[in-house]
Chains A and B, each alone.
Chain A
Amino acid sequence: MEIDKIIVSNHAALLQKYGTASLKKILDQIKKLIAADKKRNINSLLVFVDDKVSMKKAKGKIVTDVTDPEQYKNAIDSLFHFYTPDYIMLLGAQDIIPHCKFRIPIPDDDDSFVPSDAAYACEAPFSRNAGDFIAPSRVVGRLPDITGVKDPAYLIALIQNSINWKPLKAAQYKSYFSLSVKWWQKSSKESLKNIFQNSTKLKIAPTTTGPYTKPELNAMMHFYNCHGGLRTAEFYGQPSEKSESFPVCMESSFLDGKLSYGNVTAAECCYGGLLYNPLKPTNIQIPIANSYLKNNAIAFVGSTTAAYGPPEGQGAADYITQYFLIAVLKGASTGRAFLEAQQRFVEKGDVKMDPMDLKTIIQFLLLGDPSLSPVEEMPKTTPGKTPIKTIMNKDVHEKNERKDRRKKLQEKSVYIGNTNDAPIKIESDPKGALKTDIQKVLQENNFSSDGKMSYGFKKKKNPKSKGPSTKQVYRYHVYSRIQQNEKINTVRLLVIQEVDNKIMEIKEYVRR
């Protein structure tokens, strides 16, 4: 039997966390999920990466260390190559299946590493270099439990939501709830117009600070462009760039009993997708992402770390989140929608990525069963295809269409991998005319040459395409500037793109 979806977990880790009786309850629900998937024309299989028989069958090595992402990555690669599934669902939070961790140096960035699921979605073998994972090709989502919490009720409820889900008409997902930091509202409105063709429902924080009514929160899609903090169950507003006021505008408990079943949410907020342990070292509310799924959302896309955006217009976190929601509205499963968003983000960006774009592709993840389609598919009228008069052999047709889409996404990943490069930090000291030109740019933009980092690009060893190659040498020089204000200092980042010792582009990022 051809396997369409693998549900990947670690038996020993689940057993240690939940104990025998509770684990049995979880596994009973997984059996029901596999049966429900079968009715949805998806053949699913639960595989434990620490099970010798299963891993031997897939010609892979078992995971012996629950904290070692390298072992997990190798095991998942083996399973993917053996079963070639259309969906990979990671079952459990980071204490069951760890994130891969990457160091992405950016001037003044607080994150010493970036927890990520991107590597599990990529064909490239395990490495500690984030730049190896900019071209995802696999549909991956994580159905998380709560890190460190031993009560199985949460995970059982999430699995039951997957079992019972039935797609809705697209029109039902046109209703949305959206919150934005006050001084980011222009960018937020632009995102909403791209997704929903209007921004009339946008709420601005402050003055909006919640809590919210059920009619406000029961909209099927939620979109956030707010501040977030490391290990906090809150999102925050801010009245202006210079303000030291960060009023809470959303918290995990605000969602209790107020969401609609099938909610899909995307959050640009820093740390919005971080699955922290709410019990240790101190007891706090569960993460907002966990709260969304607990309150019947079926997908949440967020960032594990601090996210980036430009001072004006759109970029980085703005794009990857809106691309995801747009793909969901077009009828994709949540997993395919996220993969399409990842690929579109890299494809539309610079061929030579800047460091903030690299961090963006690595830090965002999908939480939820990736095989669920929020919006009912209309196979006869797929956008971009000539309408079909009649579909014969419906089930086989549906499966073939899905396999065709996966093939295209895999090929696109190869294309993206061949055409895009990720930056690496280098030591670079511009000289001669370039040095003079950079100094002029810095002067014009009121930057000094302090606080600088430079990035270069490695030559590809075995490019798969034989098309025209870029012989120019690209570099980015990134300068930071701290502007002393009365109460709060403004930090800006000037990104100078250099090609063959000539300045080509200048971009500016600012704290938002």
Chain B
Amino acid sequence: MYEDEVKKTKLVGVVAKVNLGGMSKSAHIGFVLQQKDKSIKLRRDGASPFYDDFFEKFENKNVTATGFDMEQYFLVTGMKEIVLKK
């Protein structure tokens, strides 16, 4: 991965709690952003890469996540819930 090429971007999707890491030594429960046809692991700098309780309040909610697509995870710098106006 060449981080120099990574640019800040926005993703829209639903935050979900899932199993990550398969059967590796560091398998764990974590959060992903589920989009229409894929999902990507969510992480924040300075927070646990395994279970970041920051994402708990967004679980099962539709959000806009701002940050960097690091291929294997999305490095979140900001997250907002999308509230539908009726």
Chain A interface (Cβ within 8 Å of chain B)?
67, 95, 106-112, 147-148, 184, 227-232, 236, 244, 246, 248, 268-271, 276-277, 279-282, 284, 306-309, 317, 356, 480, 482, 487-489, 491-493, 509-512
Contact = CB atoms under 8 A, between A and B. Distances in A.
A108 B23 contact: yes
B79 interface: no
Contact of A110 (B7, B41, B46, B68): B41
B29 A246 contact: no
A106 B72 CA distance: 15
A227 B71 contact: no
A303 to B, nearest CB: 9
Given A95-B2, A110-B72, A282-B77, A270 B19 contact: no
B84 to A, nearest CB: 31
Given A232-B49, A282-B77, A511 B3 contact: no
Contacts of B77: 282
B55 interface: no
A148 B3 contact: yes
Contacts of B6: 280-281
Interface string B39-50: 001010110111
Given A112-B71, A227-B26, A356-B23, 7 more contacts: A110-B21, A111-B72, A184-B25, A246-B28, A281-B68, A307-B25, A308-B24
B26 to A, nearest CB: 4
13 contacts: A106-B22, A107-B23, A109-B24, A110-B20, A148-B4, A227-B50, A229-B43, A244-B51, A281-B68, A489-B29, A509-B23, A511-B24, A512-B25
Nearest to B46: A284
A282 to B, nearest CB: 5
A236 B23 contact: no
Contact of A227 (B25, B41, B73): B25
Contacts of A487: 29
Given A67-B2, A246-B48, A281-B3, A109 B73 contact: no
Given A227-B50, A276-B3, A282-B68, A492 B26 contact: no
A511 B23 contact: yes
B3 to A, nearest CB: 4
B23 A229 contact: no
B82 interface: no
Nearest to B77: A282
Contact of A308 (B8, B25, B48): B25
A269 B26 contact: yes
Nearest to A487: B29
Given A230-B73, A277-B4, A246 B23 contact: no
Nearest to B6: A281
A336 to B, nearest CB: 27
A306 B68 contact: no
A232 B46 CA distance: 8
Interface in B1-33: 1-4, 6-8, 19-29
A306 B24 contact: yes
A307 B26 CA distance: 8
B70 interface: yes
B63 interface: no
A230 B43 CA distance: 10
Nearest to A284: B45
A81 B59 CA distance: 56
A491 B72 contact: no
Nearest to A270: B26
Contacts of A147: 3
A268 B25 contact: yes
B71 A306 contact: no
Contacts of A236: 26, 48, 50
A248 B46 CA distance: 11
A482 B68 contact: no
B3 A107 contact: no
Nearest to A316: B25
Contact of B28 (A231, A356, A509, A511): A511
A279 B2 CA distance: 12
Contacts of B48: 229, 236, 246, 248
Interface string B50-86: 1100000000000000001011110101000000000
Nearest to A277: B3
Contact of A109 (B1, B7, B22, B50): B22
B28 A488 contact: yes
A317 B22 CA distance: 16
Contacts of B7: 281
Nearest to B22: A108
A480 B21 CA distance: 12
A100 B3 CA distance: 17
B44 to A, nearest CB: 9
B68 A270 contact: no
A110, A111, A488, A512: which has the most chain B beta carbons within 10 Å?
A110
